[in-house]
Amino acid sequence: MNIQRITVSGNVGAAPEIKDVNGIKVANFSVAVNDNYTDKSGNKVENTSWYRIEAWDGKNGGLVSGVIEKYLGAGQMVYIEGIPVQETYEKDGQTQRSFKVKLAGPQALFKLVGKKSDDSTTGTPTPVKDTKLADDIPF
C-alpha cells in the first residue's frame, strides 16, 4: 500500500485567492507554521515555514464554496491533511522545484481551528468545521 499525505497546522497568511477552473472553484492560500524554541545558549529562536495550499471544490460544490470562500481569512488557524504535490519550473535557466499541498477528493481534511485575535497573540475560539471532501458519488 502506498500513502502520500502531509499534515499542516498553522495560520493563513492572506485571504485566499479563488479562481474558477472549468466551472470548479479552486482556492490558493499559504499557511505559516511557527517553530519557536530556546537554544542551549538561552537565545529565543523563531522559525516560520510557509506552505502553499491548493483546495478544490467537487463538481457540485464543497470545501471552497462552502467553507473557504465564506469563512477563511488572514490569521485564521487551520488544520489540513492533503497530498504533497511536487512542481518543477524554469527560472533564470535553472530547473527549480517546489511543492504544494493539494486538498481534493475524499481523503482531504480541512478544519477551521480558531481565529487569531487582532490585538493579542492568543487565539479566539471559533466553531470548528470538519469538512471531508465528497467524491461525486450519486448516493
Find, among 79, 75, 73, the residue nearest to 116 by Cα.
Answer: 75
**Does residue 68 or residue 2 have the better pLDDT?**
68
Q: What's the pLDDT score for residue 125? A: 36
Q: What's the pLDDT score for residue 31? A: 96
User: pLDDT at residue 17 above 60?
Assistant: yes
What Å distances lie between residue 59 and 22, 54, 70, 90, CA to CA? Answer: 10, 16, 18, 32
What Å distances lie between residue 129 and 3, 39, 105, CA to CA? Answer: 25, 36, 17
Q: What is the mean pLDDT of residues 37-57?
A: 95
Helix (H) or strand (E) holding 63: helix 63-63
Q: What's the pLDDT score for residue 58? A: 84
Q: What SS3 state is found at 139?
A: coil
Q: Given this structure, which CATH class describes domain 6-132?
A: mainly beta
**Does residue 124 or residue 2 have the better pLDDT?**
2
Q: What's the pLDDT score for residue 112? A: 93
